[in-house]
Each structure stands twice: as C-alpha cells, then as structure tokens.
C-alpha cells in the first residue's frame, strides 16, 4: 500500500497532467497555438473567392477531322468555359474543359470532305474556386441519347456546378447537347451531354462537369428559352450589361457550328447551328455569367 508521501506525489502529478490537458483543450478551442508549437494551423478566415480575374484566350489552327485544338489557360488559371468557331459545313464533336490546361475542341465536316480545316478555340480562364475539379462520365447510348451526372451530393450543401462540356465519339458523331438544369424539389443540379451518329444506331458520349466546393454568387446562369432558327444561324444570348459571359450550355435538335464569346460586347455569346437533313432547328440552354472587368 503506498505511503502518504507517495500518494501526495501521485496526486500532484495527476493535477498537473489535468491542468496541462485543460490548457491544450482551451488553446485548441480558442484557436491559439501552445507556446513552442511550430505547426499549429492558422485561424485566419479564408479570403472569399470571386471570379475577378477572368481572361479570354483563343487559339486558331488547321486540323484534320476529329483532331483536337486546345485554347490554353495561363499558368495558375483554370477553364470555366469555352467556345469555338468552325468553317461552314462543319459541326462540333467535342467541347470540354481540361484541368490545368484549357478548353478542347474537336469537329468534323457534314460532307465527305476529309481535308484539314481551320478553326478557332476559346477558353474563359480564371483563378479557380476552392475545391475546383472536373469530373467525367461515359456511356454508349442510342444515337440522339445522352449521359447525365451530378457533382458531389453526399452532403448538403452540395458541390456547386460551374459549367459542363461533352464529346460525342465515332466516325460520324456530333455533339447535340451539353446542358445543366436544377431539380427544384431536391436542389440537385444535373449535367448532361448528348450526341448523334449519322451512320450508326449508337454513340459513345462523355460528359465533363466543372464542380467547386465554394460559391459566393460571383457567377450564375440565365435560362435561354427554346427558339427556332434557319441553318447556320442562331441566337445571341447575353448577360446583363457590364457583366461578362463565361460560357453557354445548350440542348438542340442540331449540332453547333459556332459557340463564340464576346462577338459584340463582353456580355454576349453567339451560337449558330445546323441540321443538314432539315431547313432549320430549335435550341435552348443557359448563358453563364460572371463579373465584368475589375469586379
């Protein structure tokens, strides 16, 4: 049985240990670093992210059908949207973002002409939002069908969906949709890509979705309701004056020949499409808007 003196020493040690533990808990709750600690996390609140350094880049080159042309973002910036301008009698087969690179475009002729052609690719680039990532989903579907996916929805609030891209694969494939919509009852946002193959009953479709964990209202979408157009013409969609357009999404009964940013001002986006087997087509979608220069 311990003596009175040893019992007193044990009690003193227990009290000292309890005091040390209490100090550690208190400093952790307060966010303070214990004396001598060199790796304690900072308690400063992160700076809110704003899309304030938006930059459009474009690259023009001559490519063969289905060969890629990429508009490259500057170092440190990520693609938020993109577009393209193709020659007459050509349609887009792929338009999607590549992390740490830019925006990729592939196209094909609507005729049997397999000669190289010149096209322009655009990328809208900015310092990425917290948690920026690009996810991809692929499936083979009936020609004219689509593939859908969401950003992370395991926990609420869900990841924010920034934009979407897609690719339709095959020797006669064209991209006919790359769109976003929200289920108002569940608050879940969905992305989809659609494609056709004129010489096959099925088509392989990839959908690319830009997701982020943080959203502070610095970008948003505006619905563009369905409208009808003759071939090789299309709508001019626009954000409010003084607000820069970042990209567009679309669902069409045709494939796009151009999806061109800032044709008149920094707020607009011109879309043209064609449906070779008909005189015209219908199209709907969204324009993605962000702040203007210096905002």
Span 238-287, pLDDT tens digits: 999 989 999 999 999 899 999 999 999 999 999 999 998 888 999 999 99
Mean pLDDT, to the nearest integer, of 172-180? 96
For 70-120, the pLDDT digits (tens) are 999 999 999 999 999 999 999 999 999 999 999 999 999 998 888 999 999
Residue 3, number of CB atoms within 10 A of its CB:
8
Residue-level pLDDT at 43: 37
| pLDDT per position as a tens digit, 141-154 | 999 999 999 999 99
**Would the pTM of this model clear 0.75, i.e. be above it?**
yes
pLDDT of residue 9: 45
Predicted local confidence at residue 1, as pLDDT: 46
Q: Distance between CA atoms of 255 and 61, rounded to whole angstroms?
A: 21
Count of residues for the chain? 295
User: Distances in Å between the alpha carbon of 167 and those of 16, 19, 61, 136?
Assistant: 66, 63, 20, 11
What pLDDT sits at residue 50? 59
CA 115, 116, 117, 122 dihedral sign is positive
> Cα separation of 70 and 92, whole Å?
13
The Cα 220–Cα 147 span in angstroms is 23
Q: Quick one: pLDDT at residue 140?
A: 98
More confident residue, 287 or 4: 287
The model's confidence at residue 124, banded by pLDDT at 50, 70 and 90, is: very high
Q: What is the mean pLDDT of the chain?
A: 84
Q: Which residues pair with 133 in a beta bridge?
A: 211
Percent of the chain at pLDDT exceeding 70: 80
Measured CA to CA in angstroms, residue 187 lies from 98, 212, 289 at distances of 27, 16, 20
CA distance 275 to 256: 9
Whether residue 21 is predicted with pLDDT greater than 50 in this model: the reply is no
């Amino acid at each position: 049985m311990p003596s009175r003196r040893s019992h007193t020493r044990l009690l003193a040690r227990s009290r000292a240990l309890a005091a040390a533990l209490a100090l550690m808990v208190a400093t952790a709750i307060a966010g303070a670093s214990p004396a001598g600690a060199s790796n304690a996390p900072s308690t400063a609140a992160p700076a809110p992210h704003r899309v304030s350094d938006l930059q459009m880049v474009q690259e023009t080159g001559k490519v063969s059908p289905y060969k890629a042309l990429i508009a490259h973002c500057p170092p440190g910036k990520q693609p938020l949207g993109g577009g393209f301008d193709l020659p007459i009698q050509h349609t887009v087969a792929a338009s999607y973002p590549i992390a740490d690179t830019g925006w990729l475009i592939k196209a094909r002729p609507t005729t049997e002409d397999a000669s190289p052609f010149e096209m322009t690719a655009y990328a809208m680039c900015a310092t990425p939002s917290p948690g920026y990532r690009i996810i991809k989903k692929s499936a083979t579907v009936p020609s004219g069908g689509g593939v859908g996916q969401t950003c992370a929805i395991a926990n609420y609030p869900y990841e924010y969906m920034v934009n979407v891209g897609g690719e339709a694969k095959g020797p006669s494939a064209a991209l006919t949709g790359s769109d976003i919509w929200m289920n108002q009852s569940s608050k879940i946002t969905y992305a989809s890509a659609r494609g056709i193959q004129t010489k096959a009953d099925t088509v392989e479709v990839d959908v690319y979705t830009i997701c982020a964990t943080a959203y502070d209202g610095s970008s948003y979408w505006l619905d563009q309701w369905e409208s009808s157009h003759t071939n090789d013409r299309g709508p001019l969609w626009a954000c409010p004056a003084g607000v820069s357009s970042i990209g567009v999404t679309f669902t069409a009964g045709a494939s796009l020949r151009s999806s061109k940013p800032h044709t008149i001002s920094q707020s607009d986006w011109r879309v043209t499409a064609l449906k070779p087997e008909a005189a015209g087509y219908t199209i709907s979608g969204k324009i993605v808007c962000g702040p203007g220069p210096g905002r």
